[in-house]
Structure 1
Amino acid sequence: MKTAVMTDTNSGIMKAEADSMGIFLIPMPVIIDDETHYEGIDLTEDSFYGSLTGGQNVSTSQPSPGDLMDLWDDILEQGYDEIIHIPMSSGLSASCSTAISLSDDYDGKVQVADNHRISVTQRESVMHAKKLAEAGKSAKEIKEVLEAEAYNSSIYIAVDTLEFLKKGGRVTAAGAALGSVLNIKPILTIQGGKLDAFAKTRGMKKCKQKMVEALKNDRETRFKDADDKHLLVGAAGSNLTEEEATEWKQMLVEAFPNSYVYYDPLSFSVGCHIGPKGYGMGISVCSKDYDK
């Protein structure tokens, strides 16, 4: 049984990396002034955030049913027997439910896992799926594993400006103005797929410290039984400089010295809501057969 692993760019995996790992990828559409672009294909991080902060009308969308099914058909025509597709969380986008509905036409050859993740934690699910596929697991078996492990993860995101949360209706105009004056930085969290408010601090330095404390608390409570070998920590950011990204990753390396820590840019689906200079972090507990 030859099983293909597929995901979208919300995982932080872009085309070159996906190609090198043998993972199939569908890019997320981004609409800028009514023109459709594709994350990682014809739209870079700098150009995306340049449009976002430059006053252009920017929004994200789900892959079209036609594009999704064309890719599935192409994968099966390449000789794969089945596909395990890992899209972003159903709690954050309709792309997962759309994929599940479309998969009904494939007689079980396409399995869509809704494991309620995005960004660094979604990446871990994809890498785990690849490992399971290489071990001979079927698409259905991989789907069951990923969905059973869905809540063994946690994400926190610090927002530098309230402007884009205001545009998305998550804060009022008055609240955004007051937050700007007081230098308030909100922290958002994703637990089980939905984006919720977690805390507020004054200044980004305190904000990052608060996030690290929250993630360490998750480690010591929710994930206390996990050994360090199977605890993966991801640092993320929206349009950070190389220096900012390195410093952020190092902060997590120091907080979790015995775990694997890496850095990924936040996906545009997240960046569209929080704007540039946001900081994210995530933790995932992987099963015993995961080997980073």
Structure 2
Amino acid sequence: MGKIAVVTDSNSGITQKEAKEYGVNVLPMPFFINGETYFEDIDLTQEQFYEKLEGNAEISTSMPAVGSVTDLWDKLLEEYEEIVHIPMSSGLSSSCETAFVLAHEYEGKVQVVDNQRISVTQKQSVLDAVELVKQGKNAEEIKKYLEETKFDSSIYIMVDTLAYLKKGGRITPAAAALGTLLKLKPVLQIQGEKLDAFAKARTVKQAKNIMIDAVKNDFTKRFGDEAGENMHLYIAYTKDRETALDFKSQVEEAFPKGEVTMVDPLSLSVACHIGPGSLALACAKKLPTV
């Protein structure tokens, strides 16, 4: 790849196999499941995770150990001059803040990017960084671009069951009981640093339309690109890929000039809080062509 290495974590949804294809390095996120430690996409597959989640296992997320981060950086700096490190949003995990502290010891050779993204939009930042390396940008310039454009993205997520939001303390038991009774499908939003409530739907069909309308609104009002010609569109999901592929057809119909560039599973750290059966529609501005 040249003189700059690109590093991210598995919250980006980039698998170890894809990492080799893209020429990037992915730190696996650790999970504590019933007291044992597992690493995403190393000894914990998506299938195994959902089996444990639906089996009511006690699951908590953590962040990569300091040693695993610095060991990777040290190894890469034997071969590369600089590193661009793109962790998940600082608003969703302390791993970004930890990386900033660690990078102080590396005299500017490691540029930590807080571009406040996760999942498919974080993955896009990694792919943009790879492209910027090819364009001859240095690590500091890449960090600057990714942080300046960090809010040029949105994720809308339909949650199929309220059980996991309740379990994680994100909603009260009373709200969960009422929502279940009314068969609500909440739509959440990640725009920048946190996961927020966005809308309530009564059916999956209504939730899909809410997400499509929200992205249309973003295209017009936030990005000034009504047709979405300069935007990436992404579908993400938890467990149910078939529903995601069906939704892709609906999204392509709604955005005839747009392009769905990814249909990916949501990272396990997000899935932990929202459970299986969730569906997401996301977008991000395309890297300007040189």
Code of the residue aligned with 2:94 in structure 1: it is: A
1:173-232, CA deviations, whole angstroms, 9 ceiling, x for partnerless residues?
A: 111111111110111101112111101011212111111111111111111148744310
Q: Secondary structure at the match of 2:187?
A: strand
Q: Which residue number in structure 1 is paired with residue 72 of structure 2?
A: 71
Kept in 2: contact 1:226–1:285 (CA 8 A): no
Q: Which residue number in structure 2 is paired with residue 52 of structure 1?
A: 53
Q: Which residue number in structure 2 is paired with residue 259 of structure 1?
A: 258
Code of the residue aligned with 2:154 in structure 1: it is: S
Identity of aligned residues (%): 51
C-alpha distance in structure 2 between counterparts of 1:229 and 1:21, whole Å? 24
Corresponding position: 1:136 with 2:136? yes
Code of the residue aligned with 2:3 in structure 1: it is: K
Q: Larger deviation: 226-235 or 41-50? A: 226-235
Q: Which residue number in structure 2 is paired with residue 87 of structure 1?
A: 87
Q: Which residue number in structure 1 is paired with residue 275 of structure 2?
A: 275
C-alpha distance in structure 2 between counterparts of 1:200 and 1:80, whole Å? 48
1:120-165, CA deviations, whole angstroms, 9 ceiling, x for partnerless residues?
A: 1111111100000111111111000000000111111110111111
Corresponding position: 1:21 with 2:3? no
Aligned-pair Cα RMSD in Å: 1.4
Kept in 1: contact 2:115–2:146 (CA 8 A): yes
Code of the residue aligned with 1:154 in structure 2: it is: S
Q: Secondary structure at the match of 1:129?
A: helix
Per the TM alignment, residue 101 of structure 1 is displaced from its structure 2 partner at its CA by: 0.7
Code of the residue aligned with 1:260 in structure 2: it is: E
Distance 1:228 1:200, change over 3 A: closer
Q: Secondary structure at the match of 1:48?
A: helix
Kept in 1: contact 2:220–2:226 (CA 8 A): no
What is the TM-score with the length of structure 1 in the denominator?
0.95
Q: Which residue number in structure 2 is paired with residue 211 of structure 1?
A: 211
C-alpha distance in structure 2 between counterparts of 1:227 and 1:95, whole Å? 36
C-alpha distance in structure 1 between counterparts of 2:254 and 2:40, whole Å? 31
Q: Which residue number in structure 1 is paired with residue 220 of structure 2?
A: 220
Q: Secondary structure at the match of 1:123?
A: helix
C-alpha distance in structure 2 between counterparts of 1:255 and 1:65, whole Å? 44
1:43-95, CA deviations, whole angstroms, 9 ceiling, x for partnerless residues?
A: 11111111111111011111110111111111112x10010011100011101
Superposed structure 1 runs of 4+ greater than 6 Å apart? none
Q: Which residue number in structure 1 is paired with residue 112 of structure 2?
A: 112
Distance 1:224 1:184, change over 3 A: same
Code of the residue aligned with 1:116 in structure 2: it is: Q
C-alpha distance in structure 1 between counterparts of 2:28 and 2:259, whole Å? 27
C-alpha distance in structure 2 between counterparts of 1:250 and 1:227, whole Å? 17
What is the TM-score with the length of structure 2 in the denominator?
0.96
Code of the residue aligned with 1:176 in structure 2: it is: A
Q: Which residue number in structure 1 is paired with residue 190 of structure 2?
A: 190
Structure 1 residue ranges without an equivalent (≥5): none
C-alpha distance in structure 2 between counterparts of 1:65 and 1:85, whole Å? 14
Per the TM alignment, residue 9 of structure 1 is displaced from its structure 2 partner at its CA by: 1.0
Code of the residue aligned with 2:198 in structure 1: it is: F
Q: Which residue number in structure 1 is paired with residue 36 of structure 2?
A: 35
Kept in 2: contact 1:89–1:116 (CA 8 A): yes
Per the TM alignment, residue 289 of structure 1 is displaced from its structure 2 partner at its CA by: 2.8
Structure 2 residue ranges without an equivalent (≥5): none
Q: Secondary structure at the match of 1:284?
A: strand
Q: Which residue number in structure 2 is paired with residue 248 of structure 1?
A: 247
Per the TM alignment, residue 236 of structure 1 is displaced from its structure 2 partner at its CA by: 0.1
